[in-house]
Amino acid sequence: MKSKGRFGPFGGYYVPEVLIPALEEIEAAFEQFRQDPNFLKDLNALYTDYAGRPTPLYHARRFSEAVGFIVYLKREDLLHGGAHKINNTLGQGLLARYMGKTKLIAETGAGQHGLATAIVGALFGMETKIFMGATDVARQNVNVHKMKLLGAEVIPVEGGTGTLKDAINEALRYWTAHVEDTFYLFGTAGGPHPYPTIVRHFQEPIGREARQQCLEKAGRLPDIVTACVGGGSNAIGIFSGFLNDPQVQLVGVEGGGKGLHTTQHCATLCTGTVGVLHGARTYLLQDENGQIRDTECISAGLDYPGVGPEHAYLKETGRARYVSVCDEEVLDTFFLFSRMEGILPALESTHALAWLWQQKGLLPPETIAIANLSGRGDKDIDIVEHHRPLTARFL
Amino acid sequence: MNPYQICFSRLNRAALIPFFVIGDPSYDVSLQLVKAAVDAGADILELGIPFSDPVADGPTIQKADLRALKAGITPAKALQFIREITAYKPIPIGLLVYYNLLVQYGTERFLQDFKKAGGTSVLVADLSIDDAEEIALPAKNAGLETVFMATPNTPDERLRRIAEKTTGFIYTVSLLGTTGEREALSNAVRPLVARLKRLTDKPVCVGFGISTPQHACEVARAGADGVIIGSRIVKFIEETPDNPDKMQENIRRFLLEVRTALPSKSPKGTSNS
């Protein structure tokens, strides 16, 4: 490996020996093609004509009025597939294609990364297998159905709590046996090097565009940029555009589940400790012996006991701060935001909106905040209905 | 000479190395089974501490990890277990562990305690030679040997580096994949062992997928210094969950069969091809 992929003390590639040659191959290909004019031309064409980039920066007027400061939304929910995930799957899928790989595998939690991988698998004519925890298969069945329609095979993973962590374990296991012809299209800005760097790279358009659009629309940089953090790919994507602007506060919002006083949450950076999981040294939710804890969160896409190593580094250096909101606050915000802005936000992204809602009345009115609306909420309507049935609320 | 060198030099056949997850299915039954394996002629023991997310392991050992975790096995209890085994009979013990367990206990302190318990070597499943410095010095300071993995897709240049960092034996993975029983022995074994033998004098032990006395025999004939059998043995525990004596009898009988099947090494200086 040319680089160890460290972010301060975090990151690295702590994997069984059998995976090293595959990671080295991907690192070398990424370094080669990221600057390759043909690759860039192909990728930019796909971003523009297929995915729908650039996405708008939208001034959410009614929500702004309600919280008492200016809120812009980076509309990644308008992308093909309904979430930011397509930025990364187009990038890595194209990389796989340039490398001559014919098969894709991916893990998925909420199903958005699985869906975005299935889309790219179909687009490039690659055989695609999606590993998904059995619990997530049950709670995100719309996405499962979509992936199958697109021709991907969805493999339910029974181990552990049947969530994202278990899907990653199983995808890694499958990969060790199929490294020679299979590209592991990793979904979040975590895992072993070079994935945190690759995923960040392909998500950087979010931050680059948001910075430029804010300068154009508001005439200045924002005061706050906020995004939800599970593994942290949408957050690192938007944060990356503002890392060199020290006056811009970066706020990552984790899944507080039933509350941080319980064990039923996935607020890794807020409450976790440093360890090694899925190839990276980073913050983890674990017991005192180093066994990884079960997590719980209303939002499947945040339900993960680790976090991308660059976020661990941004926390450690104080460049970003990490907070959490709990399930009930997320549901409250989901309803009020939907009815204020006419947008159903993904429950993941709603975490960032719920944190902004908590700031209501606390910030000067000229404050400008950008929230990354990383995905749309259609996939979540069954979950919302389960927790807050419409019949009970509005009839 | 370290305990492995002594063991390999005494034997005129490949060493028999059964693998157990410590505390599977419970502390006491596991102790009974490992002692029985020692009595049945195991030359070296490979013992694993259960971990919640064992990515290098197939379904059989994943289930064993879950059983042991359910039985309340912690790294501290695993060390106690090792003390009880080495007190029963001195035998070289290689530990197989996932890195996070060491990190949380404190790598230096854990390795010191493992040495005190009578341990011989440590292999971290998710730590490659590129990060060998994280384990090599603490192991050396504790008086332990290092074991690293080599796989069929490891290039020669890297095999050389693996051999350099290894003071115990090279854990040679017979196939691309996770642990688990297989119908047939991978045809990657023979060329990989041959490559290693050409590149290094370090002992070579082969594991992953070795499920029958016949497989063990083939591995030995390929030139391996030791044969590691994990999932097949762990499967005996899974097969008769309520009957520890049956587990013990099945494991004992299987190990005797394997030991009998292992061919004698040809005398030095003659070809064993």
Provide, as residue numbers in chain B, all residues whose Cβ is less than 8 Å from the Cβ of A290.
Answer: 51, 75, 100-105
CA distance B246 to A162: 33
Which of A195, A229, A253 marks a domain boundary?
A195
Q: What pLDDT is attached to residue A394? A: 57
> What CATH number is associated with residue A282?
3.40.50.1100
Residue A104 within any structural domain of the chain: yes
A33 and A159 housed in the same domain:
yes
Of B104, B153, B158, the CB nearest to A288: B104
What average pLDDT is seen over chain B?
95
How many beta carbons lie within 10 A of that of residue A229, not counting itself? 36
Provide, as residue numbers in chain B, all residues whose Cβ is less than 8 Å from the Cβ of A178.
Answer: 176
A109 and A31 housed in the same domain:
yes
CA distance B273 to B264: 13
CA distance A302 to A351: 10
Residue A9 within any structural domain of the chain: no
Please say if the pLDDT value at position B167 is more than 90.
yes
Q: What pLDDT is attached to residue B272? A: 45
Question: Residues of chain B whose C-beta is under 8 A from some C-beta in A?
Answer: 51-58, 62, 69, 74-75, 99-105, 125-131, 148-151, 153-155, 158, 162, 173, 175-178
Indicate the SS3 state at residue B162.
helix
Q: What pLDDT is attached to residue B115? A: 98
To the nearest whole angstrom, how far is the Cα of B103 from the nearest Cα of chain A? 7
Domain boundaries, chain B: 3-259
Mean pLDDT of the B207-234 span: 97
Closest residue in A to B105 (Cα–Cα): A289
A75 and A159 housed in the same domain:
no
Task: Give the A:B interface size as CB pairs under 8 Å.
Answer: 107
A243 and A368 housed in the same domain:
yes
The model's pLDDT over B18-69, given as tens digits with 9 standing for 90+, comes to 999 999 999 999 999 999 999 999 999 999 999 999 999 999 999 999 999 9
Whether B103 and A276 lie within 8 Å, measured CB to CB: yes
Q: What pLDDT is attached to residue A393? A: 62
CA distance A284 to A294: 11
Of A20, A172, A178, the CB nearest to B128: A20
Closest residue in B to A281 (Cα–Cα): B100
A62 and A191 housed in the same domain:
no
Residue A8 within any structural domain of the chain: no
A305 and A325 housed in the same domain:
yes
A325 and A382 housed in the same domain:
yes
A90 and A171 housed in the same domain:
yes
Distance of CA A210 to the CA centre of its chain: 17
CATH classification number, B3-259, choose in 3.30.420.10, 3.40.50.720, 3.30.360.10, 3.20.20.70: 3.20.20.70
CA distance A107 to A115: 10
Q: What pLDDT is attached to residue A188? A: 95
CA distance A55 to A210: 9
As beta bridge partners, residue A252 has A227, A322
Q: How do strand A273-277 and strand A182-184 relate by DSSP bridges? A: unpaired
**Rg (chain B; Cα; Å):** 17
Q: What pLDDT is attached to residue B271? A: 43
Range of the domain at A285: 54-82+205-394
CA distance A250 to A321: 6
A20 and A59 housed in the same domain:
no
Annotated catalytic residue, options B46, B113, B218, B225: B46
Residue by residue, pLDDT tens for chain A (395 residues) are 888 899 999 999 999 999 999 999 999 999 999 999 999 999 999 999 999 999 999 999 999 999 999 999 999 999 999 999 999 999 999 999 999 999 999 999 889 999 999 999 999 999 999 999 998 898 888 899 999 999 999 999 987 778 889 999 999 999 999 988 999 999 999 999 999 999 999 999 999 999 999 999 999 999 999 999 999 999 999 999 999 999 999 999 999 999 999 999 999 999 999 999 999 999 999 999 999 999 999 998 899 999 999 999 999 999 999 999 999 999 999 999 999 999 999 999 999 999 999 999 999 999 999 999 999 999 999 999 999 998 766 54
How is residue A9 written in tokens?
């003390």
CA distance A37 to A45: 12
**Rg (chain A; Cα; Å):** 19
A304 and A226 housed in the same domain:
yes
How is residue B71 written in tokens?
């039985």
Indicate the SS3 state at residue B48.
strand
CA distance A377 to A387: 15
Name which of A161, A163, A289, A292 to mutate to probe chain B: the one with the most chain B Cβ atoms within 10 A of its Cβ. Answer: A289
- Inter-residue contact A316 to A47 (CB < 8 Å): no
Please say if the pLDDT value at position B197 is more than 80.
yes
Whether A277 and B100 lie within 8 Å, measured CB to CB: yes
- Our CA dihedral for A286, A292, A296, A297, rounded to 10 degrees, sits at 80
Indicate the SS3 state at residue A10.
strand
Q: How do strand A10-14 and strand A6-7 relate by DSSP bridges? A: antiparallel
Say whether the ipTM exceeds 0.90. yes
CA distance A175 to A186: 11
Amino acid at site A339: R
Residue A3 within any structural domain of the chain: no
Residue A1 within any structural domain of the chain: no
CA distance B207 to B223: 13
A225 and A190 housed in the same domain:
no
Q: What is the crossing angle of helices B189-199 and B156-165, to 10°?
A: 60
Which of A195, A216, A247 marks a domain boundary?
A195
Residue A316 within any structural domain of the chain: yes
Sheet holding A182-184, edge to edge: A153-157, A127-133, A103-108, A182-184
A210 and A305 housed in the same domain:
yes
How many beta carbons lie within 10 A of that of residue B184, not counting itself? 11
Amino acid at site B262: L
The model's pLDDT over B228-243, given as tens digits with 9 standing for 90+, comes to 999 999 999 999 999 9
Q: Rounded to whole angstroms, what are the CA distances from A78 to A73, A83, A329, A372, A374?
A: 11, 7, 24, 12, 9
Q: Residue with structure tokens 């997850």?
A: B21
List own/partner pairs for A24-32 with CB under 8 A and 24 or more apart: A25/A99, A26/A95, A26/A99, A26/A183, A26/A194, A26/A198, A27/A1, A27/A2, A27/A3, A27/A193, A27/A194, A28/A2, A29/A95, A29/A98, A29/A99, A30/A95, A30/A194, A30/A197, A30/A198, A30/A201, A31/A2
CA distance A233 to A228: 9
Q: Residue A327's closest CA among A373, A258, A375? A: A258
Give the active site residues of A. 85, 107, 374
Indicate the SS3 state at residue B132.
coil
Which of A140, A169, A195 marks a domain boundary?
A195
Residue B133 appears among annotated catalytic residues: no
Q: What pLDDT is attached to residue A161? A: 77
